[in-house]
């Protein structure tokens, strides 16, 4: 019997390995940028076309390669990063597997140009599907240039699985931002379809973060700095009031390598405990430095997962340092243990008993006594007043301030009727007669009606709200229980969809235009959504590179809800904008309805409950919400009777 096991050819093995390493154009961008960083480059350029499907090119000014290295770098497991297995536990470079270039060359047309500084000429190599087409000597600048064209040209099925250009470009942008944020000391530039998107000079961490995100990011950042024997933490967290619904701006870097860690993310969320709204996510840019021998990177080909030796200690230190920073910069409330010494009791008063202050009170004084006493006080008052002013006159004009001129003002007017006369005729012995006697007050509210009481029909309440979540309304056969949030979503969804497809939506002009700041990826997404948003009632002024200006909004949206609606829309469209216009309008209508619908836990008045129930059954499809969930249930009288049956 013949043998059935055979060794696969190199080009087949490379294509199999490429399935793990290269999943989309963003994977190529990541591998080439990290190789440029490992080459000790100080200037790196990224050039892509058609979201990386047609071209991904990375140009650096690193150390370059010799002729032998240039040919050998495309072989599997060929690397300059490690020499032995022990080096895996003391890695100081990005790559170490030696599979990236071989995998990329197996599924694309690849062109490499490289030259070292001491050499006069460089090497130019062209590869197509793991096959060397040409190798020539060329005049080149110092550094290396990789150009990857026609990705997945020999694997059509894999190419068909790629998403739209918008989605693929967003993934490319994510990889570029991660590498650029991890290395602020390197000058990065990014070009897409001939236009420059980023030009980031060498700077510090804060300047690099502001340069990538937007200009308004600077005022949101709170610095974090903690140095211990286990870990060194640097970076920034954002203030709680700037939290977003999405998790886009959350970055962990361990030894200048971007990682994903749900455990460390939980530590950050624990530090924000009590400061965030439900469903909000804080933004953070945290750089962790740990000893290389305490982590294991060789877990996944993407190298974004890391195992730590002592995760519990890192968790506690990270949470405490962020909590300290939020309190130090008066972002979070803290306890003030600094005591004001001025409020302390002196020591020589510590054992002294408190004494009741002595005051003199005239117990016989009564303001309602006879006139003689009052005249006595009036005379004495006038004398003191006149004497005071007359003796104080020392200039030529002092005669005008004589006591005689002021004596008239201090004279008391004698009452013509005594105060006892106010109560003459009242029966003081029988207080009940006082309470029962009729009194008419001027401030009584007098109400009148145009109709008689018997003509007005008493309308009873038709709907009831339960637990601020459900609305119960009686019907002939029993009752219906309506979910207020889902019902309002259905109503708003059909209203927005009608305005976007049939009616001309009306807008309300803003007195002061709104300036909303977003990242470069979000700005590109908003530019594509502008035509659809304008049909709902939004009016956009001239947009800038990092923010949009809104001068008009739909009539059923308040000014404070605009940012909430757009943030929710950007979060829902992270996977890309649908190609067809109806699907795009449908997605926008669903997102806006979800943002503006009344939430569970909101109190509704009787009129609001009636309008909600009436509006729901006026919809074309009142049975389900826009997200295919039931909006109400019906309970018949027979069903209720069965509940009470024994």
- Residue pLDDT, tens place only, 252-268: 998 888 988 888 999 99
pLDDT tens-digit map of 425-463: 655 555 554 455 455 555 555 555 444 544 434 445 578
Q: State CA 35 to chain mean position distance.
A: 34
Task: Give the pLDDT mean for 162-187.
Answer: 89
Q: Which pLDDT value is given to residue 55?
A: 93
Q: Which pLDDT value is given to residue 443?
A: 52
Residue, of 200 and 544, whose pLDDT is higher = 200
Cβ atoms within 10 Å, residue 287? 20
User: What's the whole-number average pLDDT of the chain?
Assistant: 78
Residue 381 pLDDT grade (very low, low, confident, very high; cuts 50, 70, 90): very low
For residues 566 and 568, what is the distance between their CA atoms, to the nearest angstrom? 5
Q: Which two tokens stand for residue 229?
A: 């024997």
Residues in the chain: 646
CB of 14 closer than 8 Å to CB of 99: no
Q: Which two tokens stand for residue 589?
A: 């209508």
Q: Which two tokens stand for residue 533?
A: 């948003």
pLDDT tens-digit map of 213-227: 876 788 889 999 999
For residues 322 and 518, what is the distance between their CA atoms, to the nearest angstrom? 25
Q: What is the CA angle 366-372-378, rounded to 5?
A: 80
* Element housing 475 (H / E): strand 470-475
Q: Which of 126-135, 230-239, 396-405, 439-448 has the lowest mean pLDDT?
A: 396-405
Q: What is the CA angle 477-482-487, rounded to 5?
A: 130
| Nearest alpha carbon to residue 326 among 273, 280, 251 | 273
Residue 399 pLDDT grade (very low, low, confident, very high; cuts 50, 70, 90): very low
pLDDT tens-digit map of 262-298: 889 999 999 998 888 777 888 899 999 988 888 777 6
Q: Phi-psi category of 425—alpha, beta or left, where left has phi over 0 and alpha has psi -120 to 50? A: left
CB of 51 closer than 8 Å to CB of 25: yes
Q: Which pLDDT value is given to residue 308?
A: 81
Q: Which two tokens stand for residue 34?
A: 């990290």
For residues 265 and 271, what is the distance between their CA atoms, to the nearest angstrom? 10
pLDDT of residue 156 exceeding 80 = yes
Pairing of strands 131-138, 195-200: unpaired
Q: Which pLDDT value is given to residue 306?
A: 78
Q: Which of 97-106, 141-150, 394-403 has the lowest mean pLDDT?
A: 394-403
CB of 471 closer than 8 Å to CB of 479: no
Residue, of 145 and 388, whose pLDDT is higher = 145
pTM of the model: 0.66
Q: Is 89 helix (H, G, I), strand (E, B) or coil?
A: helix
Q: Which pLDDT value is given to residue 86?
A: 56
Task: Give the pLDDT mean for 184-212.
Answer: 91
């Amino acid at each position: 019997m013949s043998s059935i096991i055979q060794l696969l050819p190199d080009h087949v093995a490379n294509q199999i390995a490429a399935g793990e390493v290269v999943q989309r154009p963003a994977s190529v961008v990541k591998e080439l940028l990290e190789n440029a960083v490992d080459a000790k480059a100080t200037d790196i350029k990224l050039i892509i076309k058609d979201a990386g499907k047609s071209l991904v090119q990375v140009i650096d000014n690193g150390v370059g390669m010799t002729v032998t290295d240039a040919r050998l770098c495309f072989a599997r497991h060929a690397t300059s990063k490690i020499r032995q297995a022990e080096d895996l536990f003391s890695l100081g470079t990005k790559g170490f597997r030696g599979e990236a270039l071989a995998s990329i060359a197996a599924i694309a047309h690849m062109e490499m140009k490289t030259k070292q500084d001491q050499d006069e000429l460089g090497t130019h190599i062209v590869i197509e599907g793991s096959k060397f087409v040409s190798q020539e000597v060329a005049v080149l600048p110092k550094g290396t240039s990789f150009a990857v064209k026609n990705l997945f040209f020999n694997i059509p099925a894999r190419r068909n699985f790629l998403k739209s250009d918008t989605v693929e470009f967003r993934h490319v942008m994510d990889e570029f931002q991660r590498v650029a944020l991890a290395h602020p000391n390197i000058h990065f530039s990014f070009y897409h379809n001939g236009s420059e998107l980023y030009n980031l000079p060498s700077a510090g961490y804060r300047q690099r973060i502001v340069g990538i995100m937007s200009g308004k990011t600077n005022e949101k950042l709170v610095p974090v700095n903690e140095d211990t024997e286990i870990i060194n933490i640097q970076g920034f967290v954002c203030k709680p009031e700037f939290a977003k619904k999405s998790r886009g701006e959350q970055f962990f870097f361990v030894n200048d390598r971007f990682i994903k860690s749900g455990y460390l993310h939980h530590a950050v969320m624990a530090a924000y405990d009590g400061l965030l709204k439900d469903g909000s996510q804080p933004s953070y840019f945290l750089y962790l430095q740990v000893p290389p021998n305490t982590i294991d990177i060789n877990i996944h080909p993407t190298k974004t997962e890391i195992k730590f030796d002592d995760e519990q200690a890192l968790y506690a230190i990270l949470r405490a340092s962020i909590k300290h920073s939020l309190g130090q910069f008066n972002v979070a409330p803290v306890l003030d243990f600094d005591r004001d010494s001025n409020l302390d009791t002196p020591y020589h008063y510590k054992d002294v008993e408190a004494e009741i202050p002595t005051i003199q009170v005239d117990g016989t004084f009564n303001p309602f006594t006879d006139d003689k006493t009052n005249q006595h006080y009036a005379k004495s008052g006038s004398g003191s007043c006149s004497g005071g002013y007359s003796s104080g006159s020392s200039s030529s004009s002092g005669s005008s301030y004589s006591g005689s001129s002021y004596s008239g003002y201090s004279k008391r007017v004698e009452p013509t009727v005594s105060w006892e006369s106010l109560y003459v005729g009242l029966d003081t012995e029988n207080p009940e007669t006082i309470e029962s006697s009729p009194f008419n007050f001027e401030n009584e509210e007098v109400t009148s009606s145009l109709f008689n009481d018997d003509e007005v029909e008493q309308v009873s309440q038709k709907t009831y709200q339960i637990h601020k979540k459900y609305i119960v309304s009686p019907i002939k056969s029993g009752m219906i229980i309506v979910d207020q949030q889902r019902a309002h979503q259905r109503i708003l969804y059909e209203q927005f969809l009608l305005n976007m497809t049939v009616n001309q939506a009306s807008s309300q002009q803003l007195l002061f235009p709104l300036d909303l700041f977003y990242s470069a990826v979000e700005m590109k997404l908003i530019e594509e959504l502008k035509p659809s948003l304008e049909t709902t009632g939004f009016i956009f002024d001239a947009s800038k590179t990092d923010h949009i200006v809104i001068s008009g909004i739909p009539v059923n949206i308040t000014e404070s809800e605009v940012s909430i609606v757009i943030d929710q829309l950007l979060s829902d469209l992270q996977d890309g904008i649908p190609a067809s216009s109806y699907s795009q309008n449908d997605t926008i209508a669903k997102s806006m309805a979800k943002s503006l619908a009344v939430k569970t836990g909101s109190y509704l008045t009787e009129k609001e409950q009636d309008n909600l129930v009436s509006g729901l059954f006026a919809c074309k499809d009142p049975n389900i919400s826009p997200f295919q969930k039931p909006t109400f249930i019906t309970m018949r009288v027979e069903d209720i009777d069965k509940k009470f049956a024994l």
